[in-house]
């Protein structure tokens, strides 16, 4: 029996990287997947076909998670086309790194908007559907940087720490309606983006991790499958570090 059979999921920012891994793992576990992207239209269309070939319903939507109205419209469309929403994965995120001395107001605001405001937009948009269903699982993609902080990432760390406070509050507000809200804090995850980094530097990072390797999108996706499935029915308000032991 597939762990997510018959469930409908929204995954934001799934045209590449971790979000794509989550969309694929969800489809492999039987979930229908509505996913969003910002500008990677071709990659999104390819993923839509790949997901459909796994025998589930899948659709790509171009939608800016940072925009309140777009999030509302997205959820309306998904409700029409998929009938219900069982899982929301707020995965879309960006970085605009700099030391505070050089960080512009625009770069601070943008990161907060895309990473943090987006989860307000999306959670508010799915709330009514999940309340009516009296069930739902919300999974917010934070980072070990939100737990620990990181020099050169004050904007990103603030957004990711904010996600944790938001998520715990929603767990408290909506728990009585069987709506769960949890956070995943990935460590160093190797994606197309990190392929471009200097191999020696990356190897140094790997050796500093207790499990001696970077994580893969599948490592994060597996944790999302668990949190999205009924296997985690009694888990809410938690932060799960998926980091190879990095913060230990």
Ligand X SMILES: NC(=O)c1ccc[n+]([C@@H]2O[C@H](COP(=O)([O-])OP(=O)(O)OC[C@H]3O[C@@H](n4cnc5c(N)ncnc54)[C@H](OP(=O)(O)O)[C@@H]3O)[C@@H](O)[C@H]2O)c1
- Residues labelled catalytic: 156
Of residues 4, 24, 29, 37, which one binds ligand X by CB under 6 A? Answer: 37
- Closer to ligand X by CB, 97 or 133: give it: 97
Nearest 5 degrees, angle CA 117-CA 122-CA 126?
A: 150
Task: Check residue 13 for interaction with ligand X (CB under 6 A).
Answer: yes
Contact at 8 Å (CB) between 228 and 158? no
Give the other-Cβ count within 10 Å of 41's Cβ: 12
- Closer to ligand X by CB, 22 or 56: give it: 22
Give the other-Cβ count within 10 Å of 115's Cβ: 28
- Closer to ligand X by CB, 143 or 236: give it: 143
- Closer to ligand X by CB, 178 or 191: give it: 191
Contact at 8 Å (CB) between 122 and 90? yes
Which residues does residue 62 pair with via DSSP β-bridges, in sequence order?
37
Stretch that binds ligand X, among 33-41, 52-60, 81-89, 230-238 (CB under 6 A): 33-41
DSSP reduced 3-state for 62? strand
Residue 118 tokens read as: 């987006």
Closest CA to 177 of 233, 135, 125: 135
Q: How far is the CB of 40 from ligand X (least distance, A)?
A: 3
Task: Check residue 162 for interaction with ligand X (CB under 6 A).
Answer: no
- Closer to ligand X by CB, 126 or 141: give it: 141
Which parts of 115-154 interact with ligand X (CB under 6 A)? 141, 143
Residue 120 tokens read as: 């307000």
Which parts of 73-102 interact with ligand X (CB under 6 A)? 91-94
Closest CA to 12 of 85, 105, 81, 98: 85
Task: Check residue 167 for interaction with ligand X (CB under 6 A).
Answer: no
Q: Distance (Å, rounded) from C-alpha 20 to C-alpha 178?
A: 27
Site string for ligand X, 41-70 (x = CB under 6 A): -----------------------xxx----
Q: Distance (Å, rounded) from C-alpha 122 to C-alpha 27?
A: 21
Site string for ligand X, 178-217 (x = CB under 6 A): --------x-xx-x-x------------------------
Q: Which residues bind ligand X (CB under 6 A)?
A: 12-19, 36-40, 64-66, 91-94, 114, 141, 143, 186, 188-189, 191, 193
């Amino acid at each position: 029996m597939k762990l997510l059979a018959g469930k409908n999921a929204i995954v934001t920012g799934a045209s590449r990287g971790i979000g794509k891994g989550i969309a694929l793992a969800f489809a492999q576990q039987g979930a229908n997947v509505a996913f969003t992207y910002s500008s990677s239209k071709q990659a999104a269309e390819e993923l839509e076909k790949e997901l459909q070939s796994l025998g589930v319903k899948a659709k790509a939507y171009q939608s800016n998670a940072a925009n309140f109205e777009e999030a509302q419209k997205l959820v309306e469309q998904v409700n029409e086309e998929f009938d219900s929403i069982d899982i929301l994965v707020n995965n879309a995120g960006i970085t605009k790194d700099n030391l505070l001395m050089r960080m512009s107001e625009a770069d601070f605001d943008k990161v907060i908007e895309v990473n943090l405001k987006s989860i307000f937009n999306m959670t508010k948009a799915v709330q009514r559907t999940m309340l009516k269903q009296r069930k739902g699982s919300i999974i917010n993609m934070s980072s070990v940087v939100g737990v620990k902080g990181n020099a050169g990432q004050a904007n990103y760390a603030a957004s990711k720490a904010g996600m944790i406070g938001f998520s715990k509050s929603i767990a408290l507000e909506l728990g009585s309606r069987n709506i769960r809200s949890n956070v995943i804090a990935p460590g160093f995850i190797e994606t197309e983006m990190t392929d471009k980094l200097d191999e020696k530097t990356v190897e140094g990072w790997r050796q500093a991790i207790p499990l001696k390797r970077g994580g893969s999108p599948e490592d994060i996706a597996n944790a999302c499958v668990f949190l999205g499935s009924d296997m985690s029915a009694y888990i809410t308000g938690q932060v799960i570090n998926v980091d190879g032991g990095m913060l230990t």
